[in-house]
Structure 1
């Protein structure tokens, strides 16, 4: 039977964006974020409530990139000006600027002591862009910082704050890579070959039209000289950008990222790092794996891959229901 005694409490908690949920394992927060949508299905004997949650990125994608006192986006005083700083430092400044908006406080831990630099940015309020978009754009330039919002239990588990992890440019863990063995702690290893965005010459549309169009450009003959056909592409996701350095940076990053096919791997690993018999192996508990971490997989007798030890970086972590988690990996 459904728990009718507490249904009023459940109803009161289903305020989207106001309340958050967290998945906690051994006093470690694995994921946490605000509820965004909920779907209840009245099924006899086993009603189901499915809740979709976001993370701090979700909130920053709903917060306009404007100065704290902005009232008119056409005024220069409404713009957000950052720097001089490193690209990683600019990312931290962007997050701080987002928190400075009215009623903008969030439970975030912003890093200090990031490298210095000479980069600067002026984000015009009249573009009506979101802080999340600006952070994404910053991460997409050449040597742009990787970012992650990692939940941490605080106050003996009473509260959760998110550590803002900012790479300079890459995220990584201290110490040795996590080690998994194919067939024991790593039960399956899928491979995805994606050449859908391959191009060796990249044009990036900036602000303007016709002969006044600003654009960035980057090209490489490495692959065409080795026998690939010439492939060209246009990136139209930065049409409000007016700075030539930024446009060229986007083009360079696209060329370096998509010059060759992207090989990603889906590694299904044991939740607690034990082997199928429940014995400890030295592989990590999933609670100790974070985005950007390095993973070494000893691969033997895989139906496609050669017998070799491979080193990957963790791009994402996914799990559904009670199934073992899957690590999205980049070689």
Structure 2
């Protein structure tokens, strides 16, 4: 299978960001995710002419090295290689990697200043006050990676300063929380900020890459493009839209959401939220849902989780997938997960009302070809 020439697949060192080799690939699949890691999977001929002079065993060492895919000048996704398989019969080498968030899921968030000072880990604590949620996210990363004397670091570009605000977070050392999990929880509370680690070429040294940490602000918690919505017009062949699929799921619907927190039995923290609109006005049966946050002790944070859960449970969820051309405007690399788009549904679509629909892109996936799959955010059905 031929890879479109606009794509570049390469590998490098996770600690320094240095690019060590470009890979001639036989097959490629990649994805980008909002508030998470996308996956990259490739196959290559280990004994190909391009790789014969390379120390392939070392430069593809798992965890030590990253795998990256770029389209034109834009790195779509890059992150540590976690899986490698060589088939001696075919000479095919398979590499599987995930975006930077995947390594943050394997780093503990601890107060290294206290640990280095001789305090037992179980007695340490992380305490952040007077910050926005995005500011807390920045400090999580700074303390967990750059304050750890044993961590050689990662080429992450942090926001210049921690954004101030009215939020606080406290974590005991005995909880042994993971950095990636703490970041993910910040995005899941009511008005929680988007958090991204976007790979790019280092402007001062194009033989290296780095990941730029960005987050939404208190005033604007979402990360999305500057300017107008991207437009894909499914009513014209020139738009590059080749299909709009849709699935509907009501299994998560609820009229009340319960959010248990820390503690047990009579001492357990508990929050809830409800919406009776469908019960009172549309003849729907009553259902309930719960989502435990057993490590949450703060009642306000627990209620924010409950409110967010209720907002998501009000209606059946409709999920689209739209296939577009990478080389048709807007060009792949211009848009990112989190951006807003206007998708114009054709008149003959059997399941979706025709006309323009504003959506938010949550995932972007592709392969060797110019076909790109867009997955908008799940949306209430029929809206």
Q: Same fold (TM over 0.5)?
A: yes
- Residue in 2 that maps onto 1:137: 185
Instruction: Tell me which moved more, 150-159 or 32-41.
Output: 150-159
- Residue in 1 that maps onto 2:335: 289
Structure 2 matches for 1:132-171, cutoff 5 A? 132-154=180-202, 155-168=204-217, 169-171=221-223
Paired with 1:135 and 1:104, the residues of 2 have a C-alpha distance of 21
- Residue in 2 that maps onto 1:105: 153
CA contact (8 A) 2:343 2:357 kept: yes
1:197 aligns to what SS in structure 2?
Answer: coil
- Residue in 2 that maps onto 1:234: 290
1:175 aligns to what SS in structure 2?
Answer: coil
Instruction: Tell me which moved more, 189-198 or 100-109.
Output: 100-109
CA contact (8 A) 1:27 1:157 kept: no
CA contact (8 A) 2:136 2:162 kept: no
Give deviations 1:271-312, integer Å, cap 9, x for gaps. Answer: 111xxxxxxxxx211111111111112221323222201111
Paired with 2:365 and 2:135, the residues of 1 have a C-alpha distance of 29
Q: Give the one of 255, 277, 280 matched to 1:200.
A: 255
CA distance 1:208–1:159, shift in 2 (3 Å):
same
**How well do the aligned residues superpose, as a CA RMSD in angstroms?**
2.0
1:14 and 2:63 equivalent? no
Paired with 1:66 and 1:83, the residues of 2 have a C-alpha distance of 16
Q: Give the one of 250, 259, 265 matched to 2:320.
A: 265
Paired with 1:22 and 1:149, the residues of 2 have a C-alpha distance of 13
Q: CA deviation at 1:54?
A: 1.7
1:254 and 2:301 equivalent? no
2:112 aligns to what SS in structure 1?
Answer: coil
Give deviations 1:185-233, integer Å, cap 9, x for gaps. Answer: 1111111212222212111121111111112211121222222222111
1:324 and 2:366 equivalent? no
Q: CA deviation at 1:118?
A: 1.0
Instruction: Tell me which moved more, 101-110 or 117-126.
Output: 101-110
| Structure-2-length-normalised TM-score | 0.78
- Residue in 2 that maps onto 1:211: 266
- Residue in 2 that maps onto 1:26: 72
- Residue in 2 that maps onto 1:53: 97
1:313 and 2:360 equivalent? yes
Q: CA deviation at 1:8?
A: 5.5
Q: CA deviation at 1:109?
A: 2.1
Instruction: Tell me which moved more, 176-185 or 246-255.
Output: 176-185
- Residue in 2 that maps onto 1:173: 225
| Structure-1-length-normalised TM-score | 0.89
Q: How many residues align?
A: 317
CA distance 1:220–1:176, shift in 2 (3 Å):
same
